[in-house]
C-alpha cells in the first residue's frame, strides 16, 4: 500500500486484509458496541459447553451494551425529553401547590377539593405544551438554527417526532383538565348564592338566580369555549392519526389549519377570569412571534417550475427524481423543499416537503420519495405512465 496515497483502492483494501491471520477475529466498533467477526470461516472458532451462570452473565453484558449504545446514539434526544418532562412536572406542581395550599382568599379548596389544584396544574402544563408545539413546526427557523452551535446539542432533524410527542402530552393534560372541570362544575352547582358570590367575584348573579351545572357548561364563555376546544382538538387529533394521514393527507392538512381557531378559543377561554387571571399569553407570546417570523420567511420563498430530467422507480416503492438546479437556488445539506404538481395536485394546500439528497455543489437536485400516501402514489403512477408511453414527465 502506497503510504502517500490519499485514499485506498479495492486492491489496497484486499492487500491489507490478506495479511490478517485466518484464525484471528477482527473487532469492528459499531457506535460503542464491539462486534467480533471471522473473515475466512463461518463456523465458530471452537465448540465448548457454556454454563447457565456464564450465559446469564453474558446476557446481562449484552443488555448493558445495548442500553449503553442506545444512550450514546440518542443522548441528545434523551436530554431534550428529560428537560421537557421536568418542565412539565415543575409547571404542574407549581400550579397544583399554589391552588392546593396557597390560595386562601376564596373557598375554592373547600368546595372543589383537590380538583381545582389538578385542573389548574393541568392548564399550566397544557399551556407550556401548546407553546412548545408551535416551535416544532417552524421549519424555516429550524433550518437556519441548525447551522448554529445549537445544532450540536439539539436534534433539530427530529422536530416532527418531537412535535408528535408534545401533542400526546398536550392531549393528556387537556383530558385531565376537562375531566377535572366536569367534576368541579358539579360541586359548584350545589353551592348557595352567597357561596357563588364568594367563589366567583368576577361574575354577577341575580338575586333569585341559582345557576345549574348546564349553565356552567353552556351559559358561560368559559364553558362554551371549553366545549368548542374539545371538539376542535378531537378533529385535529383524529385526522392526524397515521391511518387518516396515509389515506386522506389533504384532509389532515386542512384540519390542521383549525389550530388557528384552537389558539383563539384558548385565549377566549380564560378571559372571564372565573378562577384566576389568564396566564396563557405568558407561555405562547414568544413562540407565536417565532411562528409568525417563520411563516413570513416561508412566504418570501421563491417557487419555480422544474422539469424532471430523470426519474426511476426503485424497489420498496421508492421514486427517484432528478431536476436541473436553478442558477439562483442555494441550499444547505439536509435542507428540504416543497413540491407540487399541477397534473394531479389539488389547487389548495397540496405541497409536500421532501429532503434533498444532492450535495450543495451539485448542478442537479435529487429526491428520493417513498410512496406511502395518495399523492406520492399518484406521482409514482405518473412516472410509470410517462416511461411506458414515452411522454414527458409531469412538471413540478
Q: Running DSSP on this structure, what letter comes out for residue 359?
A: -
Most confident of 95-109, 126-140, 274-288, 374-388: 126-140
CA Rg value for the chain: 30
* pLDDT, tens only, 154-174: 888 888 999 999 999 999 999
- The single residue listed with the C-alpha cell 450535495 is 359
Closest listed residue to residue 170, CA positions, set 138, 135, 131: 131
**pLDDT (average), residues 352-360:** 82
pLDDT band at 201 (very low <50, low <70, confident <90, very high): low
Q: What is the mean pLDDT of residues 263-267?
A: 92
**Cβ-count burial of 177 within 10 angstroms (0-12 exposed, 13-18 middle, 19+ buried)?**
buried
Give the domains, in start order, of the chain with CATH numbers.
66-220+272-300 (no CATH), 308-389 (2.40.30.10)
CB 279 within 8 A of CB 266: no
Higher pLDDT, 100 or 343: 100
CA-CA distance, 328 to 340, in Å (whole number)? 20
pLDDT digits (tens, 9 = 90+) for 268-290: 988 877 677 788 888 999 999 99
C-alpha span between 190 and 177 (Å, rounded): 20
| Residue 345 reports pLDDT greater than 70 | no
pLDDT at 1 (0 to 100): 60
For residue 106, give the nearest of 206, 204, 200 by alpha carbon: 200
User: What's the CA gap between 195 and 86, in Å, rounded?
Assistant: 37
Contact 126, 184 (CB under 8 A): no
For the chain, give percent helix, strand, coil, nearest 5. 55, 10, 35
DSSP code for 102: I
Per-residue pLDDT averaged across 304-333, rounded? 83
Mean pLDDT score of the chain:
80
Q: What single-letter DSSP state applies at residue 330? A: -
Q: Which pLDDT belongs to residue 232?
A: 95
Residue 132 pLDDT grade (very low, low, confident, very high; cuts 50, 70, 90): very high
Across-strand partners of 368?
320
Amino acid at each position: 500500500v502506497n503510504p502517500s496515497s490519499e485514499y485506498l483502492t479495492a486492491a489496497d483494501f484486499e492487500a491489507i486484509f490478506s495479511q490478517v491471520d485466518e484464525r484471528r477475529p477482527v473487532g469492528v466498533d459499531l457506535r460503542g458496541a464491539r462486534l467480533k467477526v471471522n473473515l475466512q470461516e463461518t463456523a465458530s472458532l471452537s465448540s465448548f459447553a457454556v454454563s447457565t451462570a456464564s450465559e446469564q452473565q453474558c446476557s446481562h453484558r449484552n443488555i448493558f451494551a445495548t442500553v449503553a449504545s442506545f444512550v450514546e446514539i440518542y443522548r441528545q434526544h434523551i436530554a431534550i425529553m428529560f428537560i421537557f418532562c421536568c418542565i412539565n412536572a415543575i409547571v404542574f406542581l407549581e400550579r397544583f401547590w399554589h391552588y392546593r395550599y396557597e390560595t386562601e382568599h376564596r373557598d375554592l379548596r373547600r368546595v372543589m377539593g383537590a380538583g381545582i389544584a389538578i385542573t389548574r396544574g393541568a392548564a399550566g402544563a397544557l399551556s407550556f405544551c401548546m407553546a412548545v408545539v408551535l416551535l416544532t413546526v417552524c421549519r424555516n427557523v429550524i433550518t437556519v438554527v441548525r447551522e448554529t452551535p445549537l445544532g450540536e446539542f439539539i436534534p433539530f432533524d427530529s422536530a416532527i417526532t418531537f412535535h408528535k410527542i408534545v401533542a400526546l402530552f398536550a392531549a393528556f393534560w387537556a383530558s385531565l383538565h376537562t375531566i377535572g372541570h366536569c367534576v368541579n362544575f358539579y360541586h359548584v352547582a350545589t353551592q348557595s348564592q352567597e357561596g357563588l358570590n364568594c367563589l366567583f367575584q368576577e361574575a354577577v348573579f341575580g338575586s333569585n338566580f341559582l345557576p345549574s351545572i348546564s349553565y356552567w357548561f353552556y351559559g358561560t364563555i368559559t364553558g362554551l369555549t371549553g366545549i368548542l376546544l374539545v371538539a376542535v382538538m378531537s378533529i385535529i387529533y383524529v385526522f392526524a392519526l397515521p391511518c387518516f394521514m396515509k389515506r386522506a393527507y389533504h384532509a389532515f392538512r386542512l384540519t390542521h389549519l383549525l389550530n388557528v381557531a384552537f389558539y383563539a378559543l384558548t385565549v377566549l377561554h380564560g378571559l372571564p377570569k372565573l378562577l384566576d387571571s389568564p396566564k396563557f399569553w405568558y407561555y405562547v407570546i414568544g413562540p407565536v412571534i417565532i411562528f409568525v417570523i417563520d411563516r413570513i420567511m416561508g412566504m418570501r420563498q421563491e417557487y419555480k417550475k422544474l422539469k424532471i430530467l430523470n426519474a426511476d422507480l426503485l424497489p420498496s416503492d421508492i421514486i427517484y427524481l432528478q431536476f436541473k438546479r436553478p442558477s439562483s437556488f442555494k441550499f444547505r445539506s439536509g435542507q428540504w423543499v416543497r413540491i407540487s404538481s399541477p397534473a394531479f395536485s389539488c389547487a389548495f394546500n397540496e405541497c409536500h416537503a421532501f429532503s434533498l439528497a444532492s450535495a450543495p455543489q451539485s448542478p442537479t437536485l435529487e429526491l428520493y420519495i417513498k410512496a406511502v400516501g395518495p399523492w406520492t402514489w399518484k406521482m409514482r403512477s405518473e412516472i410509470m405512465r410517462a416511461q411506458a408511453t414515452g411522454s414527458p414527465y409531469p412538471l413540478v
